[in-house]
Amino acid sequence: MKRKFPNTRLRRLRSNSPIRNLIRESTLSQNDLIQPIFLIDGDNRSQKIKSMPEITRMSIDLAVKEITSLKKLGLQGVALFPCIQSKYKDKKGSESFNPNGLMQKAIEKIKKSIKDIAIISDVALDPYTSHGQDGVLGKNKEILNDETVEVLIKQALSHANSGVDIVAPSDMMDGRIKSIRKELEKNKFVDTKILSYSAKYSSNYYGPFRDAVGSVKNLGKSNKDTYQMDYANSKDAMHEVEMDINEGADIVMVKPGLPYLDIVNKISENYKVPIFVYQVSGEYAMIKAAVKNNWLDEKKVVIESLQCMKRAGANAIITYYAKDVLKWMK
Ligand code: PBG
């Protein structure tokens, strides 16, 4: 159909705010937000993260306090990430499935103290390995897929044992969703959900996060190109999503966020699965830096970025801005 002027004047529907509100195609609400939390050992401890202004690493007791107040603001979920001491790191990341490890204790404590908040746990080895990779290394420093999956299964099960709602494998090994699902079923964790980082790109936007979990030094000059996806590709993402759904993923994730919304949109149009988007640390740091210089209006740019993720097809968004947005919405 050809729309002709002046029968059609698209500006008619933009002429005032009630009309604009009524024809809005997507919404951003408190139901869409997940706050990442970085954990450290100890009591009443918090540490600043240089490349992530206003975000801190915190001990479990402070995390419980923080999440309690976030919950009052309307938060629906938290994504937990550990930053462990180097003495607990080894080549295989064995600390990752310690039943008394930092993550496991945190999940238990949060579950016990706070009602009705979705706890999402990162399943990956990079915070636990002495080399900072998400996998077990072979003789030539290659990442061994199946050996890594063996460790990931134990890690995921240990989180389920602690009472986690959603395990979120962010490692990008092949076949890990199927193996984790099988292990959860075998142990009667039939309701434990899997949020698969399906479309996870080998991105340069993760820098500040690697600082936050303390893997940056360990990783050194090496990269994650042999398992995370090439940012030039989109078919690869569709392939990953399809396989993960077939292997038992309940939700898929796209990461990073803003530069990858074409991927979000493609998944949304092709699959019947909820999609989460991760506005990653580098995206956060970029906005913070511009805001510090008075080059951008923080509130407006953040809301716009998140709204665009919803428009593209995101069901929920993991963002370091969750707390601020909830406050702005009040
Ligand atoms: C690693 C993991 C990363 C992030 C979440 N889980 C970094 C990486 O893959 O190196 C990045 C999140 C962010 O940048 O905010 N398993």
66 Cβ below 6 A of ligand 1: no
**Per-residue model confidence (pLDDT) at position 226:** 96
The answer to whether position 11 is within a domain reads: no
Tokens of 71: 């919950």
Backbone angles phi, psi at 187, to 5 degrees: -100, 15
Residue 215's nearest CA partner among 277, 135, 101 is 135
Domain range holding 143?
Answer: 27-329
Contact between 13 and 23 under an 8 Å Cβ cutoff? The reply is yes
For residue 20, tell me if it sits in a domain. Answer: no
170 lines ligand 1 (CB under 6 A): yes
Question: Is 323 an active-site residue?
Answer: no
Q: Is 72 a catalytic residue?
A: no
Q: Going residue by residue through the chain (330 aa), what tens digit of pLDDT does each one get?
A: 888 999 999 999 999 999 999 999 999 999 999 999 999 999 999 999 999 999 999 999 999 999 999 999 999 999 999 999 999 999 999 999 999 999 999 999 999 999 999 999 999 999 999 999 999 999 999 999 999 999 999 999 999 999 999 999 999 999 999 999 999 999 999 999 999 999 999 999 999 999 888 888 889 999 999 999 999 999 999 999 999 999 999 999 999 999 999 999 999 999 999 999 999 999 999 999 999 999 999 999 999 999 999 999 999 999 999 999 999 999
CB < 8 Å & 24+ apart, contacts of 48-53:
49/208, 49/211, 49/212, 50/211, 51/207, 51/208, 51/211, 51/212, 51/281, 51/285, 52/208, 52/211, 52/212, 52/281, 52/284, 52/285, 52/288, 52/320, 53/285, 53/288, 53/292
Per-residue model confidence (pLDDT) at position 6 = 94
Q: What pLDDT score does 319 carry? A: 98
- Res 213: pLDDT: 87
Q: Is residue 143 part of a domain?
A: yes
Tell whether ligand 1 has an atom less than 6 A from the beta carbon of residue 283: no
CB contact at 8 A, 249 and 291:
no
Would the CB of 32 count as within 6 Å of ligand 1?
Answer: no
**pLDDT at residue 198, as a whole number:** 96
Quick one: pLDDT at residue 249?
Answer: 98
Residue 322 inside a domain? The answer is: yes
Report whether 57 contacts 320 (CB < 8 A): no
Question: Which one of the listed residues 92, 200, 266, 288 is annotated catalytic?
Answer: 200
**Residue 14, in any domain of the structure:** no
How many structural domains is the chain composed of?
Answer: 1
Task: Please indicate, yes or no, if residue 3 is contained in any of the structural domains.
Answer: no
Alpha carbons 330 and 327: distance in angstroms, whole number: 5
CA-angle at 196, arms to 121 and 32, nearest 5°: 70
Report the CATH number that the domain containing residue 226 is assigned in CATH.
3.20.20.70
Of the candidates 204, 267, 194, the residue with the CA atom closest to the CA atom of residue 230: 204
Judge whether 121 and 169 are in contact, CB under 8 Å: no
**Residue 217 pLDDT:** 84
* Alpha-carbon gap, residue 279 to 52, rounded angstroms: 13
Catalytic site residue from 89, 92, 224, 255:
255
In a domain, 12, yes or no: no
Gap between the Cα atoms of 166 and 156, Å rounded = 10
Structure tokens at 172: 């990008």
pTM for the model stands at 0.97
Q: How many CA atoms lie within 13 A of 74 on its CB side?
A: 13
How far, in Å, CA of 2 to CA of 96, rounded? 60
